[in-house]
Chain A
Amino acid sequence: MRRTALKLVALCMCLSACVTINVYFPAAAAEKAADRIIEDVWGEDARKSQSDKRTQLFEADPRRVLLAVAGAVLDLLVPAAHAQQADLNISTPVIKQITQAMEDRHAKLKQYYESGAIGLTRDGLVEIRDQNLIPLPERNSARKLVADENADRANLYREIANANGHPEWEMDIRRTFAERWIERASPGWYVQDQKGQWTKK
């Protein structure tokens, strides 16, 4: 009898020792955060592509609309996971300063996105795609813009992870941003596909 009690205690101890706390990366919240920052940095350019996307939805073929409706019904039946997730904190002074710097820089980078000289990479950075599209006297300053932008982007991804108490989320955040930058890019800009090939939006 006493043995059984001991066993029970041991079992309880084992069970209590095996408690695992999983913190899953809040993908939907990260997407929302990325969108907010992208809208800040790109301003009108981000909104433009968003409205384009909406137009596409309405013009889409009936099958897609059906799928969308099915999806909406499913959303009703299964409460969306992200509804329970808290928003990511992206309003720390560090993030604000970096975002502001990126927004200021965008005024200069925009012309190169539009000419196709600079494109958005699949890893959430920017890259000179075709240097020959940049006038010679501007090549070095364009290279500097890209270097500065990438340094800020790397800082931004790290800071968002840190600000939310999960430095280990940095790669996930970068991945989320990579997708969102590409998704929100204006038509005519160059973006990298999953294989790293450049395509024009």
Chain B
Amino acid sequence: MIDRMPTALQTPASMHFARRRKTATAIALFALGMGGMGVVRAIEHAQLGVERIEGEGWVLENIAVDMHLGAITRAQVTIARVHLISADYVLRNIRLACGSVEVGATFVCEDGAVTLTVGGVRQQWRGRLAYDRATQRLDLDVRAPSFAGGTVRVRGNFARNGWRIRGTLDNVALEQALDVARKLEVSLPDVAGSGRITATLEAAGTKDPEYFEIDARLVDLSANNTDGTIASDALVLHTRSTFVREGNQWRFDVTANAPSGQAYFEPIFLDFGQHALELSAEGSLQSRDEILVRRFDVDHADALRATGSIRLDLRNELLVRDARVDVQSLQFPGAYTSYLQPFLLGGAFASLTTSGRAAGTVHVANNVPRRFAFEIGDLNVDDGTRKLVVEGLSGRIAWHDDANDVEPSSSAEPEHSFLRWRAGSLLNLAFGEAEVRFVASGRSFRLLEPTHIPVLDGRLDVERLRVEDFGRPTMAVDGDAELQPISVTELCRAFGWPEFGGKLGGTISQLRMRDGVVTLGTALEGQVFDGRISIRDLRLEDALRAWPRFSASIDFDNLDLELVTQAFSFGRITGRLSGQIDGLQLFNWRPIAFDARFYTPPNDRSRRRISQRAVENIGSIGGGRAGVAAALSSGFLRFFDEFRYERLGLSCRLENDVCHIDGIAPAPHGGYYIVKGTGLPRIDVIGGAHRVDWPRLVRQLIEATKSGGPTIGSAPNPP
């Protein structure tokens, strides 16, 4: 029988069991041996060696029992190796010391202490172990008085008809527990964290597990994965879950709530202190690859309330095979800050003040939204800079993915949507109450009927608007509209320009957007200063990005100079003015290039007079302000308020912040005529500077138009 003696057990009582297959047999024999020894009281010290005991799912190797027999029998058991086959885990060098052993029908180890070293960490557990030989039931109740800063207790019983384990963790430090788990070579996701766990875990089964119940409370949980895409800070999480096996499936019922702390799932940041989260779900794990959530409820305080069902496929990446969500309420601003803002980062709508609510349904299949319908009620949006303001937005938006929709009803005409609003502002332009009816499907949007939007004191009549490839770089917009005249005064006020009169209107046909560039196929016509203005070759790039670029060419025809100079308080000039600004380019709405020229129209028959102050201001453009002022203030010229002129004109080619100036004709000594006088007293304004610093020029012009005009030189006032 003794074919190989364990080296450490050189005693007459040493025994050796050959490999046995059945657990029950092994344990029975082990207990029998114990019982047998109990009979022979004369022996005070007994030793027993077992090479291997094997059970369902586990193997013990090199077991040595050392017993001290007396009034109170004490025992020491060492097990060199425990292999938990199902968990594929090996424990080594386990020492069990029993303060009191009872060997009878039941083998009881009271006041036991288990010492095991795992991954270099020495663990000590205390407790009770009992084995009933008749029923073959093993009861155990062990606890670690000090485990990762808290305590752990494991109670369990294992019998022929089943087993049940109940583990309790009390105030265990997560960081240390993770450390132990890593040393135990438990495969964990790559996370780092700290916090404390108090939890009860219960599991039961016959052969395989049949039932799990977890009631855990995590406090002050700060954890993150390596790349920081998932993280939590000071999170309090309470979860209760049960898992029950039903045939091949596991039925689960999970509730979780996070009343405080923060979590980040890139790009979504949730502050549970502001919006507490409650979640419940019930469903089943169909197989290793599929989770069916029959019903879930989410209550994200002041942000979202929703219920629904989800089928998840775990085979590859997490795949939402199918999800139907009934959004009972989406409350703003909570919903905006929690769910929308992170996706709008970097765009124009990244920091909006919102209020209002919405509700609707969403259907997702294979990770992609297939259809949604939302009722919007009194939504308000404000970006704080009047680039985007919408007040009292309400309506219904229905959308479906026409290319991939699986719903049978989708073959019919797509559902119509409508939106109406009370008022708003877009790029500083105030607009009024209106309603739009449209169809949205896939990546396209189509206006169903013309819509009339009041803009300032005019109106934009949108006849046609179509968007294709929405949200892609290839997004295309086409539209036609008619702009019912807007008063220029209002327009100036909106953009903070000097106010002047006139009307601007026209047909906005062939409005197109391709590759992020908005162009207008026609010219905008306007009536300003009793003349005509025409804006053509309109082009806008990156309108809603950080650096919008705008370009256009503007023609002015026969403007009344008196009105112009009045509007800009430039100093009175009467007469007519025509001109062009070709190749106007604005970068971030500031001019960076243009080629502009303004001049008296060739066949002008109007009365042409220029005031002292205007002469001076013009002089400052030509770089000779002091000279002009001195000339005007000295001699008899100062007695004249205004002078006749034949023609005037000025051109400026802006390039690299330098204005290359020229006049209407060359003058002696390399100068140029800005104003060519006529009659008596005749005054010519001749410019000398050909290059003027543009920012300085703008400052000078603003100064000239703001102040009541410079005082004339330093000459004393006429008596």
A92 at the binding interface (Cβ < 8 Å): yes
Nearest-neighbor residue (CB-CB) of A155 within chain B: B547
Cβ of B229 and Cβ of A93 under 8 Å apart?
no
Q: How far is the CA of A132 from the CA of B592 in the complex (A)?
A: 42
Interface pair A94/B345, CB less than 8 Å apart: no
Stretch at the interface among A9-17, A136-144, A176-184: A136-144
Interface contact A137-B657, CB-CB below 8 Å = no
Tell me, yes or no, whether A131 is within 8 Å of chain B by CB.
Answer: yes
Q: With an 8 A cutoff between CB atoms, is B145 at the interface? A: no
> B648-667: which have CB < 8 Å to A?
656-657
Chain A residues within 8 Å of B350, by CB? 144
- Of chain B, the residue at the smallest CB distance from A134 is B228
**Would you give the 0/1 interface string for A128-153, flagging 1 where the beta carbon is closer than 8 Å to chain B?**
10111011110110011001100110
B224 at the interface (CB under 8 A from A): yes
Task: Give B235-276 as 1s and 0s: 1 = Cβ < 8 Å from A's Cβ atoms.
Answer: 000000000000000000000000000111011010100000
How far is B228's CA from A91's CA once the two chains are assembled, in angstroms? 40
B-contacting residues, A50-95, CB 8 Å? 89, 91-94
Chain B 535-578: CB-based contact to A (< 8 A → 1; otherwise 0): 00000000001110000000000000000000000000000000
A29 contacts chain B at the CB level, 8 A cutoff:
no
**In the complex, what residue of chain B is closest to A147 when comparing beta carbons?**
B346
User: With a CB–CB cut-off of 8 A, which chain A residues contact B271?
Assistant: 137
Taking a contact as CB atoms under 8 Å apart, the answer to whether A92 and B592 are in contact is yes
Tell me if B267 and A140 are in contact (CB < 8 A). Answer: yes
Q: How many pairs of A and B residues are in contact by the CB < 8 Å rule?
A: 67
- Identify which of B228, B233, B547, B587 contacts A131 (C-beta below 8 A): B228
Chain B contacts for A97, CB-based, 8 A:
547, 587-588, 590
A91-B346 contact given A97-B587, A151-B546, A155-B547, CB 8 Å threshold: no
Contact B656 A93 (CB under 8 A): yes
A152 x B264 contact (CB < 8 A) = no
CB closest chain-A residue, reference B344 = A144
CB pair A136 B264 closer than 8 Å = yes
Interface flag for A101 (CB, 8 Å): yes
- Interface residues of B, count at CB 8 A: 29
**What is the distance, in angstroms, from B591's C-beta to the closest C-beta of chain A?**
8
Indicate which residue in A91, A134, A135, A136 contacts B657 across the interface (CB closer than 8 Å). Answer: A91
* A28 at the B interface (CB under 8 A): no
| Smallest CB gap from B262: residue in A | A136
Interfacial chain A residues near B266, Cβ < 8 Å: 131, 139
Query: Is the CB of B641 closer than 8 A to any CB of chain A?
Result: no
Chain A residues numbered 10-56 whose CB sits less than 8 Å from any CB in chain B: none
Scoring A98, A130, A132, A163 by chain B CB atoms within 10 A of each residue's CB, the highest score goes to A132
Contact B264 A139, beta carbon cutoff 8 Å: yes
Q: A144-B346, A155-B547 are in contact. Are A136 and B231 (CB under 8 A)?
A: yes
Interface status of B341 (Cβ within 8 A of chain A): yes
Give min CB distance, B629 to chain A, whole Å.
30
Name the A residues within 8 Å of B545 (CB-CB). Answer: 151
Which residue on chain A has the smallest CB distance to residue B234?
Answer: A136
Interface residues of B in 74-97 (CB under 8 A from A): none
Question: Which of these, B231, B341, B587, contacts A132 with CB under 8 Å?
Answer: B231
Q: How far is the CA of A19 from the CA of B656 in the complex (A)?
A: 32
Q: How far is the CB of A124 from chain B (nearest CB, A)?
A: 18
Give residues 587-635 of B contacting A (CB, 8 Å).
Answer: 587-588, 590, 592
A137 lies within 8 A of B269 (CB): yes
Write out the residue numbers on chain B whose beta carbons fall within 8 Å of the beta carbon of A144: 345-346, 350
Q: Which residues of A contact B345 (CB under 8 A)?
A: 140, 143-144, 147
Using CB atoms, name the residue of chain B closest to A133: B228
Q: A92-B656, A93-B587, A151-B346 are in contact. Are A98 and B264 (CB under 8 A)?
A: no
Name the residue among B224, B263, B269 with the largest chain A CB count within 10 angstroms: B269
- Taken together as a complex, chains A and B put the C-alpha atoms of A152 and B542 apart, in Å, by 13
Q: How far is the CA of A144 from the CA of B346 in the complex (A)?
A: 6
Show 26 residue pairs from A and B whose CB-CB distance is below 8 angstroms, ordered by the A residue: A89-B656, A91-B656, A92-B656, A92-B657, A93-B592, A94-B587, A94-B592, A97-B590, A128-B228, A130-B228, A131-B231, A131-B266, A134-B228, A135-B233, A136-B233, A136-B262, A136-B269, A137-B271, A139-B231, A139-B269, A143-B267, A147-B346, A148-B346, A151-B546, A155-B547, A163-B656
Top 4 closest pairs, chain A to chain B, by CB: A131-B228, A132-B228, A144-B345, A147-B346
With A135-B233, A136-B232 already in contact, 11 other A-B pairs whose C-beta atoms are closer than 8 Å: A91-B657, A93-B587, A94-B592, A128-B228, A130-B228, A132-B224, A137-B269, A139-B231, A140-B269, A144-B350, A155-B547
